[in-house]
Amino acid sequence: MDDYRLRHELRRGIESLCRRRGDLLTETERTRITEEIIDDTLGLGPLEPLLRDPTISDILINGPNTIFVERRGQLEQASISFHDADHLVQIVQRIAGKVGRRLDESSPMVDARMSDGSRVNAVIGPLALDGALVSIRRFGDRRLQASDLIGHRALTGEMWDFLSTCVATGLNVIVSGGTGSGKSTLMNALCSAIPANQRIVTIEDAAELNIHLPHVARMETRCANVEGKGEITARDLVRNALRMRPDRIIIGECRGSEAFDMLQAMTTGHDGSLTTLHSNGPRSALRRLEMLVGMAGMELPAWFIRELVGSAVQIIVQCVRLPNGQRKVTSISEVTGVVGETVSLHDIFEYKRQDTDPTTGKTGYFRTTGIRPVCLDRLATHGARIDPSFFEERILRVDRCDTIPRLAAAPGRSTL
């Protein structure tokens, strides 16, 4: 039987049993019991109502009785619970089993992607002391586009238009930020600016990107099996991607020695590549890149690593999740090479934080810094001629989505 038929037959059986003692249950109680049994038998038990709720972006479980969810950037405690610790472990093992992973005392951690695209990480005993720890990162059915990001005031139309022009004309971009700051969402939106005639290879630990372009080759890393064999790392996939004739390589998140191969690819004909990075700021992102390159297992001198980073990366976009749950692009910075022993970096756009206005809810404002980007000459060679006065120091208006500037969809077209 398929899942639909199973649920139908199980519902008929439960309702038949409930009708035998209809004097003990109200209609509401019968409906609740029926749904709970179906969810626990064929689904993921108490998690099912949360997974059906489109407003929830994260589900965080700290034992059978402590479940939190994130809605619109704010954490709140959910009103569900599991019967006991064993019930929670049983549900988590069901999740792991559906994706072909094993979860028990000999293999107490799992990191996988669920059938709906959600990313799940689970840790059970003996590592988890107070019951299983589970984190589920959910993704909406519809990926956020430029209009959504501007409508949510994550950045302004001018900032988006500059970024999309940079992507369209082949500058290498790193999207930096903390966990849950919107890095992957922004990078996914930026991919819409890539010309449709280019071949893109994506590499991810858990598939999150949803790029609507005609020529996309997607790859996903693989964890080792229970015998400790069969692991395929991001570095393995980057090396393989170079043999697949890509125009651009997009790495979902750069977190290890693959940074060295990625930077080499950026400097050897794969212009316009993108990746995300965990860091607290653009300068921290550069230092983290240098550290990751050092993990490649080769004794590279510090000056060589800095030269590699300075020549490979052109734009760093910093994303931040504010205390009120809002996601903001707090800076767009340009890397202009190496000066002495330092990678040169300057901000083009920035978000200036202020105390929250109780009447409007505003937490700050976007502005240009007054620095003219060095990359303007390079953009001009691709036909994107931008008036330097655009970057004069000023406060930027946060337009609603119906006043978005035209997007840079391909090289050869200026939008500013």
Residues of the chain with confidence (pLDDT) below 70? 22, 140-142, 225-228, 356-362, 399-416
The sign of the torsion formed by the CA atoms of 175, 314, 368, 347 equals positive
What's the CATH superfamily of 146-403?
Answer: P-loop containing nucleotide triphosphate hydrolases (3.40.50.300)
Residues in contact with 195: Cβ distance below 8 Å, sequence separation at least 6, in sequence order: 168, 409, 410, 411
Look up tokens 């043999």; give the residue. 243
- Going by C-alpha positions, the residue among 143, 175, 136, 146 that lies closest to residue 57 is 136
pLDDT of residue 141: 63
From the list 137, 109, 111, the residue with the least C-alpha distance to 124 is 109
Residues 6+ apart with CB under 8 A from 407: 146, 160, 161, 164, 192, 193, 415
Per DSSP, what are the bridge partners of residue 222?
Answer: 232
What backbone torsions phi and psi does residue 57 show, to the nearest 5 degrees? Answer: -105, -25
Q: What's the topology of domain 3-137?
A: Beta-Lactamase (3.30.450)
Q: Where are the beta strands (DSSP E) in 248-404?
A: 248-251, 274-278, 315-321, 327-339, 342-353, 364-368, 394-396
Report d(CA 119, CA 210) in Å as an integer.
Answer: 14
Q: What is the pLDDT of residues 121-158, one digit of tens each?
A: 899 888 888 888 999 988 766 677 888 888 888 999 89
The model carries a pTM of 0.80
Q: Is 371 helix (H, G, I), strand (E, B) or coil?
A: coil
- Which is nearest to 216 in space by CA: 224, 225, 207? 207
* Cα separation, 88 vs 133, whole angstroms: 9
CA atoms within 13 A on the CB side of 129: 0
- 8 Å CB contact between 250 and 209: yes
Residue 185 half-sphere exposure toward CB, CA atoms < 13 A: 31
User: In the prediction, which pLDDT does 282 show?
Assistant: 92
235: which 2 tokens? 């570095």
- In DSSP terms, 119 is beta-bridged to 113, 137
d(CA 294, CA 300): 7
Query: Which residues in the chain are classed under CATH 3.40.50.300?
Result: 146-403
What amino acid is encoded at 335 in this protein? V
- Residue 169 CB neighbours (<10 A): 24
pLDDT tens digits for range 347-365: 999 999 877 665 556 678 8
CATH 3.30.450.370 region(s) of the chain?
3-137
DSSP 25-88: --HHHHHHHHHHHHHHHHS-TTHHHHHT-TTEEEEEEESTT-EEEEETTEEEE-S---SSHHHH
| pLDDT attached to residue 29 | 76
C-alpha angle with apex 181: 75 to 390, nearest 5 degrees? 135
Closest CA to 315 of 118, 106, 120, 159: 159
Which residues contact residue 277 at a Cβ distance below 8 angstroms, ignoring those fewer than 6 apart?
174, 175, 176, 183, 253, 254, 255, 285, 288, 289
Q: In 64-214, which residue ranges form alpha helices assigned H by DSSP?
A: 85-98, 146-151, 157-168, 183-190
**């989505």: which residue's tokens?**
401
pLDDT recorded at residue 356:
65
The dihedrals phi and psi of 357, each to the nearest 5 degrees, come to -75, 120
- Cα–Cα dist 38/115, whole Å: 19
